[in-house]
Chains A and B, each alone.
Chain A
Amino acid sequence: MGRYYQQDIETAPREKILEIQNEKLVRQVRHVWDNVPYYRHLMEEKGVTPEDIRGVEDLHKLPFLSKADLREAYPYGLLGTDLKNCVRIQSTSGTTGRRVVAFYTQHDVDLWEDCTARAIVAAGGTDEDVVQVCYGYGLFTGGAGLHGGSHKVGCLTLPMSSGNTERQIQFMMDLGSTILCCTPSYAAYIGESLAEMGYKPEDNKLKAGIFGAEPWTEEMRRDIEKKLGIKAYDIYGLTETSGPGVAYECEEQHGMHINEDHFLAEIIDPETGEVLPEGEKGELVFTSLDKEAFPLLRYRTRDICVLSRKPCSCGRTHVRMSKPMGRSDDMLIIRGVNVFPSQIETVLLKEGYTPNYQIVLDRERNTDTFDVYVEVSADQFSDLMSQIQKMEKSLEAALRTMLGIGPRVHLVAPKTITRSEGKAVRVIDKRKLHD
């Protein structure tokens, strides 16, 4: 196996890629029009028919889809085929209201796994490699995505899932893992644990890591590379489009190649929705070109980034996206889990608290810390310390159930949450996530 998983397509001339995209887009718009009444209705509202879409240059005529649409259409409203043709679901963390359930036919799983296989090969993976997947397995797309790609490349796959660091390290050392797949913060944590156990970076057999699902900086990359003695590659994706592997880094480590034969990328002005020229910073929008079961057109990711079509020395011709530089909504990514402040508010109100709260995020030892400060009201206050601590614990549990990630809750006195110009400051993010 060479430097590419699917060389023809990965290194195809731009005209060839455009030709594929034009053909697939026309077919996909027709597929959605025929099978997804929800989107057909959006098109009708905009006065667009499949005949108006003759190629990529007509893409801007199509309506956007947002997370709000996914919520409204939950669970089957955006399904593009009969359920009997579907073989899998994956889902995001979060509440029922916020949860995204994505469906896959076998064809969809295959194309997704092709994408992650490309990422593994771009990170130097071959059928000689031992790939340790410590992304979570289950509804989360991380485990399933890299697992499938690793199989396609023919690597020996260690389906470790997340957590239990001691066992991760034991398998890594005993079975000689060569490629590590997890969140960057977990990679850093493994690196620290190895050092604490007295291992030097050259003691492990790792050569590369494929890290994603949360924002990370170049500084963190260098830190992980040094600690583990590897080359660290970024990978990008979201459940709405399929999962990790929508875009991935090559050996240049300078932007992630978007798998453009499957996913068409645009950058728009998040305020006006206007398409921005190449090189301008804006919100990333994806159109899935050949997914059958969950064929989202013009899905707004809310991730802010820049696209570049400058030639890459790796030989791949697919457009590169920068690391996301921020969000055009208030979503937070905490230890790889998507959290909306409004979810916290919902829990507080349900549990009988005032919605006066503050989220404080920081990084300790490369892992996100997540603290929620909540103002306690007069009728909740008790002279018993045990009672207040019980309230904190029970609120922590309720938040963990809602968010899929457990914050530390701190009850504070009324009117103590920082206010700026009379408005409570909801989020204080002390993490340095962007260079």
Chain B
Amino acid sequence: MAITQISLFLMNQPGQLVDAVGAISGAGSNIRAMSIAEANDFGILRAIVTDTDKVCSLLKDRFLITRTPVVAAKMDDRSGALYPILSALNKANVNIEYMYAFTGTGPEEAYVVLRVSDPDTTESVLHAHGIQTLSDEGLSL
């Protein structure tokens, strides 16, 4: 049920990010969420995009790109909404590698993207707590 995140390896140089975003835009894809992790020489652009397959096939010759299943947990766009999600995962001993968030298309609707080692287990834990998660199919909504 998890959603697919794309990750791009970019050199830490001017022009790299604009190239990548231009290529995604050229695929007619919408970037729903993104974050960048940076090291000295390089960065990793992580993004949730629409038309993931098309983006990957168009970008794979020009960029190092990889697909990773991540969990997108739905929450209300209000103070305190993230806490029960993290609390549930903490109790289940799920370790989070990294996370970022985006707002949904509905009113006061937000999602937190969680990179974990076992997305299936993580989703089961969340569902057991009544927390909804997104699927690729639900993403373009």
User: B-contacting residues of A (Cβ < 8 Å)?
Assistant: 376-378, 381-386, 388-389, 410-414, 416
- Specify which of B7, B10, B42, B98 lies most central, judged by the most chain A CB atoms within 10 Å of its CB: B42
Residues of B at the A interface (CB closer than 8 Å) are: 5, 7, 9-11, 37, 39-42, 44, 46, 60, 63-66, 68, 97-98, 115
A378 to chain B, nearest CB (A): 6
Contact of A388 among B39, B60, B97 (CB under 8 A): B39
Query: Bound state CA distance, A389 and B5, in angstroms?
Result: 21
A378-B44 contact in complex given A385-B37, A385-B39, C-beta closer than 8 Å: no
Query: In the docked arrangement, what's the CA distance between A213 and B115, Å?
Result: 51
The CA of A388 and the CA of B39, in the complex, are separated in Å by 10
Contacts of A385 in B (CB 8 A): 37, 39, 44
A412 near B11: Cβ-Cβ < 8 Å: yes
A386 to B97, CA, bound (A): 9
Partner of B66, one of A383, A410, A414: A383
Q: How far is the CA of A384 from the CA of B99 in the complex (A)?
A: 12
With contacts A377-B64, A385-B37 known, what are 12 further pairs, Cβ within 8 A?
A381-B7, A381-B64, A381-B65, A383-B5, A383-B7, A383-B66, A388-B42, A410-B41, A411-B42, A412-B41, A413-B11, A413-B63
B7, A376: Cβ atoms closer than 8 Å: no
Also in contact, A383 and B64, with CB within 8 A (given A388-B39, A410-B41, A416-B11): no
Q: Which residues of B are found within 8 Å of A383, using beta-carbon distances?
A: 5, 7, 44, 46, 66, 68, 115
Verify A381–B41 contact, CB threshold 8 A. Answer: no
Contact, CB under 8 Å: A376 / B39: no
On whether the beta carbons of B66 and A378 are closer than 8 Å, the reply is: yes
Q: Are A381 and B39 in contact (CB under 8 A)?
A: no
Task: Give, as a whole number of angstroms, the nearest-CB distance from A57 to chain B.
Answer: 58
Q: How far is the CA of A381 from the CA of B42 in the complex (A)?
A: 12
Cα of A385 to Cα of B37 in the assembled complex, Å: 7
Q: Which 3 A-B pairs have the closest CB atoms?
A: A383-B7, A381-B64, A410-B41
A-B contact pairs, 21 of them (CB 8 A): A376-B64, A381-B7, A381-B64, A381-B66, A382-B7, A382-B66, A383-B66, A383-B68, A384-B98, A386-B97, A388-B39, A389-B39, A410-B41, A411-B41, A412-B11, A412-B41, A412-B42, A413-B42, A413-B63, A413-B64, A416-B11
Query: Which residues from B are CB-within-8-Å of A411?
Result: 41-42
CA distance A410 to B40 in the complex (A): 9
What residues of chain B lie closer than 8 Å to A386, measured between beta carbons?
97
Task: Tell whether, in the assembled complex, residue B7 and residue A378 are in contact, meaning their CB atoms are under 8 Å apart.
Answer: no
Q: Please give, as numbers and ranges, the residues of chain A lying within 8 Å of B41 by CB-CB distance.
A: 410-412
Residues of A within 8 A of B7 (CB): 381-383
Min CB distance B18 to A, Å, is 15
Give bound CA distance, A410 to B11, whole Å: 10
Contact A384/B97 with A411-B42, A414-B64 known, Cβ cut-off 8 Å: yes
A156 to B56, CA, bound (A): 70
| Residues of B contacting A388 in the complex (Cβ-Cβ under 8 angstroms) | 39, 42, 44
- Shortest A425–chain B CB gap in Å is 17
Cα separation A389 to B44 with both chains bound (whole Å): 12
> Which chain A residue shows the least CB distance to B37?
A385
CB A414 to nearest CB in B, in angstroms, measures 6
Q: Please, which residues of chain A bring their CB within 8 A of the CB of B97?
A: 384, 386
* Chain B residues whose C-beta falls within 8 Å of the C-beta of A413 in the assembled complex: 9-11, 42, 63-64
Q: Which residues of A lie under 8 Å from residue B115 when comparing CB positions?
A: 383-384
User: How far is A411 from B5 in the complex, measured between Cα atoms in Å?
Assistant: 22
Measured between beta carbons, the chain B residues less than 8 angstroms from A376 are 9, 64
CB distance from B32 to the nearest CB of A (A): 16
- In the complex, what distance in Å separates the CA atom of A410 from the CA atom of B12? 11
The residue among B60, B64, B65, B68 with the most chain A CB atoms within 10 A of its own CB is: B64
Q: What's the least CB distance linking B46 to chain A, in Å?
A: 6
Of chain A, the residue at the smallest CB distance from B41 is A410
Give the CA-CA distance A416 to B13 in the complex, in Å: 12
